[in-house]
Amino acid sequence: MKIHWREISSASNSFAALSAACEVHGYHLEATKEPRPDVTCYSLNSISERIYRDEIAGADCITVVGGPHASACYREVAGYADYVVVGEGEYTLPALLSAIEEGRAPPPGVATASGYTPAHHTVLLDGYPPFSDVKGFIEISRGCPFGCGYCQTPRLFGRCMRHRSVDEISRYAARFRDIRFVTPNALAYGSDGVHIRLDRIERLLQSLNGRVYFGTFPGEVRPEFISQQSIDLILDHCANTRLHFGAQSGSDQVLRHLRRGHTVEDVVRAVDLCRENGLTPVVDFILGLPFETDDDQRATLDLVRSVTRVGKAHIHYFMPLPGTPLQNSRPRGLLPETEKVLGRLALNGSITGSWMEHEIRFFRHSPHL
């Protein structure tokens, strides 16, 4: 049976991880720019879904679709794809391929037009290589105990953090000169996701040879995990000149609504610590959140201005994502003064992002999605 992977740039890390997982079970995924028999697999987010929906519906082969959008909207996607892999695919995708090959019913974790049985397994990261011939970033942790209202990560991977072992990470990191990681929060490595374990981060960093980038693209950190001790570890072992974290709002009221689990004060302290230690803070913000008042938006704008005095801000415009608590919320508009200030800051290079074409930037997150 020939199995293909539809090349989609936003899903390149999923290709690396899933082709490695399929290889473990004896299946080779060949990259393709069009659907091809016998089977073509897709990984879709809520933007790419609109682009590939018709192609999948008209494909002259068996189609298998996974990814964050397919997982959140599996009934809808099963209306035009043959099989939908719901949630993580390392175990489910090879099991499905084997069922297709042998003419059996799909395994749990797969939806079709005729029904869905949820998966009853969780993937242990050490059970699968992070990549094989198709190289990708090394996913060191999966799952997130926080429940930010706009984010698909805990809904897709659960709220219990799982980690790849130090030995496995250093084995795969040895294949890179520049070492970068996929994780919802690099400084949560080895922990329950809430209580930092500096000893485990140190053991990981000590095991690596090469230029290590930790807490920057594509695996960022949360602001309250930034302390003098965590920065010291990064400065001692890594090549970072930046530290990337999410503030999302300059209003504590909005942060509470979002269930972010940190305060504006945490963000200000993290920015100061970066500055004092010679790291450039790169800070994410979301504007247009549904419960943001004019004053909340002004407070965010003030925080953006203060961040850009010493670092960079990435601005996203809120986009409701399926499967999240805010999926049915409508974005609110930007104040004229917000557009003016952002335009000015963008011109001098202090901010990036696309708050006008919001869908493009909102998907900066998570090569693991």
Residue numbers of the site for ligand SF4 (CB under 6 A)?
Answer: 144, 146-148, 151, 153-154, 184, 222
* Nearer CB in complex with ligand SF4: 42/146: 146
* Nearer CB in complex with ligand SF4: 148/173: 148
Tokens 């990337």 correspond to what residue?
244
**Smallest distance, Å, CB 142 to ligand SF4?**
10
**Smallest distance, Å, CB 185 to ligand SF4?**
6
316 Cβ contact list (under 8 Å, min separation 6): 284, 285, 286, 287, 353, 355, 358, 361, 362, 364
* Nearer CB in complex with ligand SF4: 42/150: 150
**Smallest distance, Å, CB 308 to ligand SF4?**
22
Nearest to 16 by CA among 55, 25, 7: 7
**Smallest distance, Å, CB 147 to ligand SF4?**
6
* Nearer CB in complex with ligand SF4: 106/246: 246
**Smallest distance, Å, CB 151 to ligand SF4?**
3
181 Cβ contact list (under 8 Å, min separation 6): 137, 138, 139, 140, 169, 214, 218, 219
CA distances from 230 to 45, 242, 280 (A): 33, 14, 15
E strands present in the chain:
3-6, 29-32, 39-43, 62-66, 83-85, 110-112, 115-116, 138-139, 141-142, 162-163, 178-182, 211-213, 242-248, 280-287, 312-317, 351-353
* Nearer CB in complex with ligand SF4: 97/287: 287
* Nearer CB in complex with ligand SF4: 111/326: 326
188, burial (CB in 10 Å: exposed 0-12, middle 13-18, buried 19+): buried
**Smallest distance, Å, CB 342 to ligand SF4?**
22
